[in-house]
Amino acid sequence: MSSPEAVDDARAFAELDALLSEGLGAFAEARDSAAVEAARVEFLGMKQGRIKHAQERLKTLEPSARRGYGQKFNSVKKSLEEACEEARNRIGRSKPDRAVRSVDLTLPGNRERRLGHTHPLTQTADELIDLFGRLGFEVARGPEVEDVRHNFEALNIPPAHPARDPRDNFYLSESSMLRSQTSTVQIRVMEKRKPPIRVVAIGRVYRPDVVDATHSFMFHQIEGLMVDKGVTMADLKTVLRLFAASYLGTDVQIRFRPSFFPFTEPSVEVDMLWHGGDRWVEMGGAGMVDPNVFEAVGYDPEVYTGFAFGLGVERLCMRRHAIDDIRLLYQNDVRFLEQF
C-alpha cells in the first residue's frame, strides 16, 4: 500500500494534467477577447488563477516528488501561456471584420466645447515678457494717465519741445495726459529704487494719430531699462541680440543706426538681420540713458550708466502673424481672434 503522502503526490500530478487539458480547451474555445481574458484570469491569473494554486501545491509535496512536480509545472505553465498567446493572436486577426464596419472612423471627432483664444497682442506681450525675464528683466508697471513731469520733463523734454504740442498728445488738463510712451515707467521705477535696475514695462500708450492700416491712437509698447555701474552700449547690443535671437528662434545680427530721442544719448534705431535673411528689419529705438534723466531722478550720472530700449508690440505681433491692418487688432471680431 502506498503511504498517504504518496497518494497525495500522485493526486497533485493528476491535477496538473487536468489543469493543462482544461486550460488548453478553454483557450481553444475562446471566440472573443473577453473569453480569452476570462480564461487567462482563471488559469494563468497571478492572484487567484489555478496555476497559482498548482504552484503553491509544491510546498505540500514530499521532498522526493518536488523536483519532478516542478519540471511538470513549468512545462504546463509554458503550454498554457502559449495557448493564451495563440488565442489572442487568433482573435486579434479576425477582429477587424466586424469592428471597423460598425464605426465610421472618418466621422469628425467630437468637440463639445469651442475653446476661446487669447488675443494675439497678449500672446506677443507674454512672449516678450518671458524672453526678457530670462535675461533678468522683471516687469514694472505705471499709470496710463500721467503727469507732464513723468511723460516729458524728467525725460529731458522741456516745455518748448515740439513733442509736447497739444495736437500730438492726449492732454486731460495742463498737467495730466494719457502717456505717449512707456518711458514714463522708467522714471517711476528710478524714483523709487536704487540701481541695479533691470525692468521691462509693457502697456498701452496713446497718441492722436489719424487711424489707418498702420496707425492707431492707442497702441502698446514694451520698454526696457538697465542701470548699474559699468553698463555700456555693448551690453545694450548684446541684450537686444539675445532677445532677437530667442524671439525669432534663429541666429541674428543687430545693427545700430544713429537716431535721436530726448531721453537717451547716444540714441539709435535698432535693425536686425536674421540668419539667411536678405534685408535688415527695424526693431525699435534704443540708447544710453541721458545724464539729464539720471539727474531728474537723483542718480549720479558719473557713477551709473544705463540703457533703455523701446519696441512696438503691434509691429512685432503684426509681422509675426502676417497681419496687414492694425485696426483688426481692436475690432475683436471672433473670426479674427480664433485664428490665434
Partner 1 sequence: MIVSWNWLTDYLRLDMPVETLTERLALRGLNHEETREVGGDLAIDLEVTSNRPDCLSHIGVARETAVVFGKHAWFPEPDPQVVGEDVHELARVDVEDPDLCPRFTARLITGVKAGPSPWFLRKRLETLGLRSINNIADITNYVLFECGQPLHAYDYDKLFENRLIVRKARPGESLIAINNKKYDLTTDMLVIADAARPVGLAGVMGGLDTEISESTKNVLIESARFDPVSIRRTGRALGLSSDSSFRFERGLDPERTEWASRRCAQMIVELAGGTLHPGVVDIGAPAQPHPPVVLRYGRIEKILGIAVERDRARAILEALGLDVVAETSESVVVKPPSWRADLEREIDLIEEIARIHGYEQIPEDRSVPTALAPRGKRERVEDVVRSTLTALGYDEAVTFSLVSDELSFPIFPVESNDRPPLKVEHSTRKKETILRRDLVPSLLAARRHNEARGEPDARLFEIAQVYHPKAESPLPDEPTRLAIVGGGDFRALKGVVETLLERLHISDQLETELVINVDVFEPSTLARITLGGSTIGYMGSIHPIHRDALELRQACYAVELSFDVLIDKADLVPRHARISDFPAVSRDLSLVSPNTVAWKEFSSVVLEVMKNDPTFEGLTYLDSFSGGNVPAGFESVHFGLRFRGRDRTLTGEEVDRSVAAIVEACRQKLKATLRT
Binders of partner 1 in range 250-279 (CB under 8 A): 253-260, 265-269
Q: Is 88 in the site for partner 1 (CB under 8 A)?
A: no
Q: Is 144 in the site for partner 1 (CB under 8 A)?
A: yes
Q: Is 323 in the site for partner 1 (CB under 8 A)?
A: no
- Select the span of 14-22, 39-47, 75-83, 234-242 touching partner 1 (CB under 8 A): 234-242
Judged by beta carbon, residue 84 or residue 272, the one nearer partner 1 is: 272
What's the per-residue H, E or C state across the chain? CCCHHHHHHHHHHHHHHHHHHHHHHHHHHCCCHHHHHHHHHHHHCCCCCHHHHHHHHHHHCCHHHHHHHHHHHHHHHHHHHHHHHHHHHHHHHHCHHHHHHHCCCCCCCCCCCCCCCCCHHHHHHHHHHHHHHHCCCEEECCCCEEEHHHHCHHHCCCCCCHHHCHHHCCECCCCEEECCCCHHHHHHHHHHCCCCEEEEEEEEEECCCCCCCCCCCEEEEEEEEEEECCCCHHHHHHHHHHHHHHHHCCCEEEEEEEEEECCEEEEEEEEEEECCCCCCEEEEEEEEECHHHHHHCCCCCCCCEEEEEEEEHHHHHHHHHCCCCCCHHHHCCHHHHCCC
Smallest distance from the beta carbon of 226 to partner 1, in angstroms?
Answer: 8
Q: Is 108 in the site for partner 1 (CB under 8 A)?
A: no
Cα–Cα distance measured from residue 119 to residue 13, given in angstroms and rounded to the nearest whole number: 75
Q: Is 171 in the site for partner 1 (CB under 8 A)?
A: yes
Q: Is 110 in the site for partner 1 (CB under 8 A)?
A: no
Number of amino acids touching partner 1 (CB under 8 A): 84
Q: Is 7 in the site for partner 1 (CB under 8 A)?
A: no
- Select the span of 26-34, 51-59, 167-175, 187-195 touching partner 1 (CB under 8 A): 167-175
Q: Is 15 in the site for partner 1 (CB under 8 A)?
A: no
Binding partner 1 by CB under 8 A: which of 218, 248, 297, 323?
Answer: 218
Q: Is 230 in the site for partner 1 (CB under 8 A)?
A: yes
Binding partner 1 by CB under 8 A: which of 167, 276, 298, 300?
Answer: 167
Q: Cβ contacts of residue 279 below 8 Å, gap of 6+?
A: 273
Smallest distance from the beta carbon of 46 to partner 1, in angstroms?
Answer: 23
Judged by beta carbon, residue 57 or residue 179, the one nearer partner 1 is: 179
Binding partner 1 by CB under 8 A: which of 121, 222, 227, 296?
Answer: 121
Binding partner 1 by CB under 8 A: which of 143, 246, 321, 323?
Answer: 143
**Residue numbers 174-213 binding partner 1 by CB under 8 A:** 175-176, 178, 196, 198, 204, 206, 208-211
Binding partner 1 by CB under 8 A: which of 193, 232, 250, 277?
Answer: 232
Judged by beta carbon, residue 49 or residue 306, the one nearer partner 1 is: 306
Cα–Cα distance measured from residue 192 to residue 256, given in angstroms and rounded to the nearest whole number: 31
- Select the span of 5-13, 68-76, 98-106, 128-136 touching partner 1 (CB under 8 A): 128-136
